[in-house]
Amino acid sequence: MSFLQDPSFFTMGMWSIGAGAIGAAALALILANTDVFLAKPQKATLEYLEDIDLKTLEKEPMTFKAKALWENNGAVIMAVRRPGCFLCREEAADLSSLKPKLDELGIPLYAVVKEQVKTEVKDFQPYFKGEIFLDEKKKFYGPERRKMMFMGFVRLGVWYNFFRARSGGFSGNLEGEGFILGGVFVVGPGKQGILLEHREKEFGDKVNLVSVLEAARKIKPQTSASEKK
């Protein structure tokens, strides 16, 4: 048992434990930056989206079915993760830059939020050039809601998104729930269906604007009965 009295034995053991801990931490960091632990999004059906209850943001809110947003002309809809988030404000501004082209196509731009906290929606409106509605049951964030918790803060992609938005002059706050991931939809009128469904996979994972326009150009406006005659 003389080796127990040898200081080098304990030093070697401590180095082994330390190296193992560093290796485990490195492996965890690598895995956190892959899609291994990310919740896989479940695609929404048109029927699912049509049946969602939305509310207007007036003092006396009106409740209506979401299909009213795209029933006649289709629509581009942003499901906002958190209005006070500077990454969400960046994406809202990006989508709003498409509004002149969407207006030419006759396609409205909308957003839904999952809660009203203080003046967060009002403060979000300068970044978003469309109407905003409340989705209290968070249906646009489903059918299966996905969350990104603190793992998001060790993802290199998220940090890149942080720096990109900050360098673009966007700022925000920490008000409200911000872990349930959002997305963007392009929906055609009537039964044309969902033409684009972008699900945010991490904080600041923006939709591709070219893809939004390509999907919007596929929209075929509904023809009224009088026009058919």
Per-residue tokens: 139: 């249906």
33-38 contacts at long range (C-beta below 8 A, 24 or more positions apart): 33/154, 33/155, 33/156, 33/157, 35/201, 37/151, 38/146, 38/148, 38/201, 38/202
| Alpha carbons 55 and 66: distance in angstroms, whole number | 9
In the annotation, is 85 catalytic? yes
Which one from 77, 78, 85, 186 is the annotated catalytic residue?
85
Q: How far apart are CA 42 and CA 25, in angstroms?
A: 31
> Strands across the sheet with 131-134, in order?
63-65, 53-55, 131-134, 109-113, 75-79, 183-187, 194-199
User: Of 54, 66, 76, 88, which is the active-site residue?
Assistant: 88
Would you call 26 a catalytic residue per the annotation? no
Single out the residue of 76, 80, 75 nearest to residue 120, CA to CA.
80
Distance of CA 93 to the CA centre of its chain: 14
Please identify every residue annotated as catalytic: 85, 88
